[in-house]
Every structure is written in C-alpha cells, then in structure tokens.
Amino acid sequence: MTDRTAETGTAKQAADPRRWRLLGLLGLAQFMLILDVTVVAIALPYMGADLGLGRDALTWVVSAYTLAFGGLMLLGGRAADLFGPKPVVLAGLATFTVASLATGLATSAELAVGGRVAQGVGAAMLSPAALSIVVRLFDGEERNRALGIWSALGAGGAAIGVLLGGALTAGPGWEWVFLINVPVGIVVALVLARQLPALPAWGGNVRLDLIGALVVTAATGLLILGFIEAGDEGWTSSRTIALLVGGVVGYALLVGWLRRTRHPLIDPALLYRRPVLSGTFVLFVATGLMVAVFFLGTFYLQSAAGHGPLTTGLLFLPVAAATMIGAQLGGRLIGRLGARTLGMTGLLIAAAGLAVPAFGMSTQTTVVAVSVGSAGLGVLFVVAAATALSQVEPHLAGVASGILSTFHELGASLGAAVMSGVAAASLVDGTTAGFERAYLVATVIAALAAVVAGVLIPGRPASADTH
C-alpha cells in the first residue's frame, strides 16, 4: 500500500460515524490503566496489613506495574502497527482484566506482585494500540478535539484514582481497588469486539524485532528501577548509579541495533523528527510534574495536615476537574494558538500554581493553587500528543504512540524519585519544610521547561516540516 493510499484510507476512517463512541470506549479503557497507577497508593497500608507485606513488598506492588507498563510500551505499539491495533487492544484489555481479578484475590506478596506485573503487560499492549486507533480514526481539527478528550480522561484518571482509592478502601476493602476493573473490562471488551473496525495492519513481510524489544524493555526497566532506587536510597548510592548507567548503556546498544537490523522496532529517523522530539519532551515534563502534584499533595494532606484517606481523595476532586478542563480547552485552542504558544502557556500556568505552596502551605491554599497548576498540566498533555502524533504516517502511529507512552512512564518515575528525595525530611517527621522545597523545585522545572519548549516546539509556519 502506498503512502497516498494509506492517507486516503485514514481519511475515510475519520468519517466513521462510530468514531466518537469508540473514542469514549477506548478512553474508558485508558482511564482504567491510568487510574491503576494512583488508586493503589491509598490502599497500600491496608493491603500490607492484610497480606503481611513489608516495605519492600509494598514498593514492588507499585513498581511492578510501572516497570511492565513502561518497559513493554514500544513493543505493544509496534505490534499494533504490524498486526493491526484491534487484536492488540483486545488482547491487552483481556490480560489487564484477568490480572486485576488475580491481584484482587491475591493471598501473598508473590501473587500480588505477579498480578501487578500481568496488569502492566496488558496495559502496555492496550495503551499505545488504543491511542494509535484514535490517531487513525480522526483527522485535522477533529483529531485535536479527540486528543483533548483522550488527555482529559487520562489525566483525570490519575486524580480520580486518589478519590476512588480512598472510597473503596474505606468501604468494601482494598481488594476492590483491583476487582472494580473486572466488570468494567468485560463490558468494554465485549462492546469493542463488536464495534471496533478492523483497521489495516502494515506488517506485510516485516517481522517483529524481538531483540530490539528485549533491549528497550531492559533499558527502560533499568532506568525506572534506577529512579525508584534514587527515591528510596538517594542519587549517590551504588545501586542507583549502577541501574541508571545500565539503562543508558542499554539505550546506546538499542541505537546501534536499530541502525543494523533490517526490520527495526523503531525507525531511527522517527526519533529525530522535531515534532516527535518536542512532543515527547513536553509529555516527559508534564507527567513528572503531575506525579509531583499527587505525590506531594497526598503525603502533605495525610501526614502533615492530618486528613484521612477519603477526605484526601475528596480534596483532590478540584485537581481532577481542573486537569480535565485544561485538557479540553487545550484540544479546542491548539488549532487557533499553535502548539508552541499553548505549550509555553501551560507550563507557565503550572509554574504559577506550584509556586504558591512553595512559600507557605495550608489545606485550602494548596488545593486551590495546585488545581490552577493542574489546569496548565492538562493543556500540556494535549500539546504533547498533538505535536508528536499529528504528522506521523499511519503505519507508524502505533510505535509513535509507544514512544510517547514510554516517556510518560519515565517522567512519572523520575518525578516521584526527585520529589521523594527533596521532600524526604517532611515524609519522615510530617513538617512542611521539605514539601515547600519540593514545590519550589517543581516550579523551577516548569519555568525552565517553558523556555525549552519555546525553542523546541515547531512554530506554526514550520508545522508542516516533519523533520
């Protein structure tokens, strides 16, 4: 199939009358995946008490999901390109749903961590494949609106996870943090199996690059583990340094392999495209800052301000609403203002909101200010997706989505590591000094990123240039 034929096929798919309904279903599936990152946080102490899990085991309940999700994302995206996104979406959703059931019924640390790994594997198949369908079903201004909805559901899922985790843990019990995914997953899978169009696969005689997939999975996993270790033991510990160096070496080996092999996992030229590079940068920073918001906010509200899990979840509702509103506005304004202007504006709004608790904290001022900052972060998720994916050819939509999603997880891991290190004193003694320093660091990062985004994101006159 020629590029012209592919583009025509994509345009026809964009006119599919079911596209908005399909976006809602795919968005609901993505909502579950992102929800599962934060919904567990409040349930961890209760889960540990019931299953007799120590600190290390509880850390792995969180980390196992992040490692599998982030490490296998590129493989999931490439599989969607080669075999078609529909079977990959359905396989990923089925895996995630069964794994959620197994985790909710777990009676030991091994079963809980194993279930979380399997959840991450399913999520790594589902997320990039679903996003590639969105990119292929929509075009032009409609695609920006669709990405706005997609980003709002994803970003809102992270915030609502805090509330849902508190409600479920205080109500039926921590098990339902996982079991609630089962009925939702079954219904969504059945509807998608019937209504999702069989979009074309682009594989032909191309084989899946399993060596490249193994190397990128190992490299990404080592980096994520290194960031987690840095949050626990500090950046200068020998284990942290070894993991981070191993991750960097792994990516260097990946670049060499991609240049040599006949059927690379990723087209190396794709990584050097300015829109892909700038969109990935924006998402990396936005995710790191969003994790900072949740990490600092939940710990401050519970340990320093003395609120319970359900109250903490309720206090995060304005944050969720602001994030979703920001994403929706971003989807509507990006065509009018351009990605560069909107990206810089979003980062500056985030910096302004995060700066307030850096100079004095109370429950009210922190929630209001962080909600303002989160609106800016919601805008950034749209800017990142629209910039990175708007000019990617249909046969590369899956792997491009995988690249974006991988850096989403890397940003989340780095954000948690940096914030836990800066706020370490407050995490131990419940004072606010460490939290205030961490918010100041987040503010500086957002402001500096606004400058970088202004240079890196292509301007509107140059938007047609894909390289």
Based on the fold, state whether residues 239 and 280 are members of the same structural domain. no
- Residue 12 pLDDT > 50: no
Based on the fold, state whether residues 230 and 371 are members of the same structural domain. no
Nearest to 123 by CA among 87, 94, 101: 94
Based on the fold, state whether residues 260 and 272 are members of the same structural domain. no
List CB contacts of 34: < 8 A, sequence separation 6 or more. 153, 154, 155, 157, 158, 161
Based on the fold, state whether residues 226 and 193 are members of the same structural domain. no
The pLDDT tens digits of the residues spanning 344-387 come to: 999 999 999 999 999 988 999 999 999 999 999 999 999 998 88
Nearest to 144 by CA among 391, 399, 349, 322: 391
pLDDT interval class at 4 (50, 70, 90): very low
pLDDT interval class at 192 (50, 70, 90): very high
pLDDT (0 to 100) of residue 339: 92
**Mean pLDDT score of the chain, rounded to an integer?**
84
**Residue 267 burial (CB count, 10 A):** 15
Based on the fold, state whether residues 182 and 258 are members of the same structural domain. no
Please check whether residue 211 is in contact with residue 74, taking contact to mean a CB–CB distance below 8 angstroms: no
- CA dist 133 and 21 (Å) reads 13
- Residue 465 pLDDT > 70: no
Based on the fold, state whether residues 378 and 440 are members of the same structural domain. yes
Kindly report the CATH number assigned to the domain that includes residue 299. Answer: 1.20.1250.20
pLDDT (0 to 100) of residue 168: 85
- Residue 7 pLDDT > 50: no
Domain residues for the domain of 109 are 16-198
Based on the fold, state whether residues 260 and 278 are members of the same structural domain. no
Please check whether residue 100 is in contact with residue 178, taking contact to mean a CB–CB distance below 8 angstroms: yes
DSSP classification of residue 359: T
The pLDDT tens digits of the residues spanning 237-257 come to: 899 899 999 999 998 998 899
- Residue 11 pLDDT > 80: no
Number of domains in the chain: 3
- Residue 153 pLDDT > 90: no
CA 75 from chain centre, in angstroms, equals 16
The pLDDT tens digits of the residues spanning 102-127 come to: 999 999 888 998 999 999 999 999 99
DSSP classification of residue 457: S
Based on the fold, state whether residues 106 and 221 are members of the same structural domain. no
Based on the fold, state whether residues 238 and 104 are members of the same structural domain. no
User: Could you say which of 198, 226, 245 is where a domain stops?
Assistant: 198
User: Could you say which of 198, 228, 246 is where a domain stops?
Assistant: 198
Q: Is residue 357 a part of any domain in this protein?
A: yes
Q: What angle do CA 26, 151, 438 make, to 5 degrees?
A: 135
Q: Is residue 351 a part of any domain in this protein?
A: yes
- Residue 314 pLDDT > 90: no
Q: Is residue 403 a part of any domain in this protein?
A: yes
The pLDDT tens digits of the residues spanning 263-310 come to: 887 777 787 888 889 999 999 999 889 888 877 887 888 778 888 777
CA 130 from chain centre, in angstroms, equals 13
Based on the fold, state whether residues 297 and 431 are members of the same structural domain. yes
